[in-house]
Amino acid sequence: MCQFISWIEKDGRLWYLTSTDLSSKRGKETRDYCGTPTDYPGHGAIRHFYGLKGGVNREQADFSSPANFPPQIAADIKAGKFCRWFGEIPRGLLCAQLYAEYQKQRAPLDIQFWHLFLTKINRAEARK
């Protein structure tokens, strides 16, 4: 499992996946290939989607500054291009006060999730 955001540097280009990519027909194939949402931002998913071989794997999970990312990726973060398939909002994108409020509002949903999970008929079956 790779960190969100992951990318591959190859031939002077950055290769990574956005929500638009994962919503496409090829994106559906890639999601099926991954099998689990935690793999969607990973290098394997990127290679599968684009048919890439080689290149340098990169990843960054420190969202405290746009300077931590290549400018192209920082612009796509600000444009909301990762808002659907990539899980929880990374800490650092929201100011501390707003992030604390987000966590406070989200907590009851997490509890509700676990209560739903405890009922056997609500559980997803393992993929084979």
pLDDT given at position 47: 97
* Sequence-ordered list of residues with C-beta below 8 angstroms from that of 6, at least 6 positions apart, any chain: 16, 41, 42, 43, 46, 57, 58, 59
Answer whether residue 105 is part of any domain: no
Whether 1 is covered by a domain: the verdict is no
- pLDDT tens digits along 74-89: 999 888 898 887 776 6
- Between strands 56-59 and 6-10, the pairing is antiparallel
Helix (H, G, I), strand (E, B) or coil at 57: strand
* Range of the structural domain that residue 87 is part of: 6-93
Predicted model pTM = 0.73
Please count the structural domains in the chain.
1
In a domain, 19, yes or no: yes
pLDDT confidence tier of residue 128, bands split at 50, 70 and 90: low
Is 126 within a domain? Answer: no
